[in-house]
Amino acid sequence: MKFYYALYLLLFSTFNLQAQKEIKYVSPPTVMGDNYKVEILDIVADKDECKLKLKVKNTGEDYLRFNFSKVGFEYAGFGTYYPSKGKDIIIEPGKMVSKVIRIEGAKSRMVNSFTLKLEGLRSASVPQYASAMNNLMFSVGSASEVASNEFKVTISEVKEKKGTVTTSAEVNYLGGADNIGLVDLTKVTVLDANGVSVEQKISPQKLKVLETGETAKISLSITNPSKSYQLQWGDTYHHLTLVDVVVDPVIVWAEGTSRSSNVVTNKTTVMNNTTPAANNTTPAANNTTPVASNTTQGDLQYCPIYTGAGDGGHIKVRFFNTEGKCFKLVANGVLLVPDYSSSAVVNLTGGKKHLEFHFPDGTVYKDKITPDGINWEAASYRLKQKKNGDYNLVLNIGSVQATPESQARLDQQMAKMEADRKAREAESDAAWEKQKAESAARLEKMRSESAFDDNSSPTNSSSNSISSGSTNSSSSNTGSFSSSSGSQKVRLRVMTAGSPVAGCEVTIKIKGVTIGRGKTNSSGYADIYTNDLISRSIDVYGEKEGNNWHLEGLITLDENLYAEIDPAQALKLINNKIEQLENLGF
């Protein structure tokens, strides 16, 4: 009698649905994976069609491609129906696409429930290295082409007008059905005939994502005329390979209908495949209690702590959340936390784990972790719900405990690092002491070889010495300076015919030993810092644009270590002295 009563209810419900003009369905929970999120909204069916809005968001760093023609509507006893139209759409990281999906001609479309199959999702990671491509050579008035295994670039005729070179090019992607290509023109460098980078304007200045056979157009403008050019690609091109992403089917229910035990049975089957098949034969009329229990579980908060053996590993891992959300946990297809808990501790082996957190409202959150099986003894992860409803699993900072063996290795490494640091410091100190000793010996040699107390003092300087500055050089009673007093700044000003000389490389020496270098600014000044100025009598060497000059034994700094130099005037003075000596018969 119960069987006939249940059959009557089923037939009455079906006829009642068919008599309605349309049926609205409840939007199922958001489907989330490692790098995607799928929302199913605005689901409605009438006598002509069933339609819904599908939103697919890329939440990771990989590129996704979704084929909307592979969204299947499966009706029990009738098969699976697919849209008559649809195409692949690439979804870049952080982007979302939305599309209305509809099927027509399904006699069973006005039903209590159906299953939605999301079979068209694929994913591609960006490889670490760019695709290799030879430089593209081109010149004014010609066209050229270059190709790799994945890309081909064709450049049209190059034109020049009023000193500006312009051209356009096409990049064709040659990948296969399982590939997509990335073109980033911001990585392109233009070289002239000498291999020197030149300024250019290239567009578009944004990343282009290409399907196989698609083309990206390039515009190029160069303002540096040259006999020829070449395009250097660098990291412009990337060739990505797509792999299928398996998304679990989603059951969709009509508004106002009671969800049968199939929901609970399906979830139980996913999380525990050992449930005996005989348990699924319970008559539908007896399932009212489990359904009510499931509805109550949707509001579970702060469930008891669970402790289990996990997968038998030695790493004690805790999963928890501070919001009191209750969950069951599956790792690599094995049910580890069978009872709802807000804080679960399980033992795990090392290596990658594909996790599924099942919540009482039917939401499933997927993530991956990789415990260190060699160095970890314990760790904890926090499961946090974000404002938008998504979840995030984060390793709790400071929770990782090292194994005794790992801690011993770490202590040994730290000890070795400390010993290496001390050895490097000792080596550096020894090198510094050696350098100081060599510098002191060199300075002592310079002092012994220079008769600065007789020849270098400004009071005894020869009549052909040039001393310039605001201070009278004879006011100083010594021409030597101790290097132990620290860095000393020598300021020279290079002039010619009363005008400053800019950009002149200046070197100062004493007894043939270089003690400093500098370069004159726009006012002709060069500031030279040195620790080796043992005399104010210096030799000055200059060079600018291939023109060299030197003044030896002619320059004496004033007490402010300053001198103004006019090389042409100094050479003229020397020539006059030579002429005077020749007139005297020398």
Model confidence over 11-38: pLDDT tens digits?
Answer: 444 444 445 678 899 998 888 888 899 9
**pLDDT for residue 143 is more than 50:** yes
Q: Is the pLDDT of residue 453 over 70?
A: no
Residue 276, pLDDT score: 34
48, two tokens: 């002509």
| Higher local confidence (pLDDT), 361 or 282 | 361
Q: Which residue has the higher pLDDT, 144 or 453?
A: 144
At residue 451, the pLDDT reads 45
* pLDDT of res. 577: 63
Q: What number is the average pLDDT over the span 354-368?
A: 91
Contact 156, 136 (CB under 8 A): no
What's the one-letter identity of residue 538?
A: I
Residues with Cβ within 8 Å of residue 384, at least 6 apart in sequence: 321, 322, 323, 391, 392, 393, 394
pLDDT at 503: 92
Mean pLDDT, residues 214-220 taken together: 88
Mean local confidence (pLDDT), 441-468: 48
Phi then psi dihedrals of residue 314, to 5 deg: -95, -10
Q: Are 518 and 554 in contact (CB under 8 A)?
A: no
Dist CA 326 CA 341 (whole Å):
5
What local confidence, expressed as pLDDT, does residue 357 receive? 93
Q: How many angstroms separate the CA atoms of 491 and 419, rounded?
A: 46
Rounded Cα distance, 182 and 241, in Å? 11
End-to-end C-alpha distance for the chain, whole angstroms: 147
Task: Output the pLDDT for position 473.
Answer: 35
Return the pLDDT at 514.
87
DSSP 62: S
Q: What is the CA radius of gyration of the chain?
A: 42
Name the average pLDDT for the chain. Answer: 77
**How does residue 578 score in pLDDT terms, banded at 50, 70 and 90?**
low
Q: Which amino acid is at 551?
A: L
Rounded Cα gap, residues 318 and 382, in angstroms: 8
Instruction: Kindly report, residue by residue over 52-106, the tens digit of the pLDDT.
Output: 999 999 999 999 999 988 898 888 877 888 886 777 899 999 999 999 988 876 5
Strands 164-173, 215-222: parallel, antiparallel or unpaired by DSSP?
Answer: antiparallel
Say if residues 487 and 515 touch (Cβ distance below 8 Å). no
Token digits of residue 489:
């700044």
d(CA 152, CA 149): 8
Q: For residue range 514-531, list pLDDT tens digits in order.
A: 888 999 998 999 999 888
Average pLDDT over residues 278-306: 46
SS in 3 state form for 130-153?
A: CCCCCCEEECCCCCEEEECCCEEE
For residue 5, pLDDT beyond 90: no
Nearest to 541 by CA among 522, 557, 554, 559: 554
What's the whole-number mean pLDDT along residues 249-274?
A: 51
Residue with more model confidence, 156 or 450 = 156
**Residue predicted with more confidence, 582 or 292:** 582
SS3 content of the chain, % helix, strand, coil (to 5): 20, 40, 35
Do 18 and 46 touch, CB atoms closer than 8 A?
Answer: no
Question: Average of pLDDT values for 441-451?
Answer: 64
Distance CA 328, CA 359 (A): 7
Give the other-Cβ count within 10 Å of 456's Cβ.
Answer: 21
Which pLDDT belongs to residue 582? 61
User: Confidence band (pLDDT; 50, 70, 90) for 346?
Assistant: very high
- Cα separation, 403 vs 193, whole angstroms: 61
Please tell me the predicted confidence (pLDDT) of residue 227. 79
Mean local confidence (pLDDT), 125-140? 85
Average pLDDT of the segment spanning 244-270: 61
Out of 329-343, 400-414, 539-553, least confident range: 400-414
What is the reported pLDDT for 580? 63
pLDDT (tens digit per residue) in 393-439: 988 767 888 878 777 777 777 788 778 878 877 887 787 777 767 76
* DSSP type of residue 453: I
DSSP alpha helix (H) spans, 316-385: none
Q: What does the pLDDT read at residue 62? A: 92
- pLDDT attached to residue 205: 80
Give dist(CA 385, CA 383) in Å, integer. Answer: 7
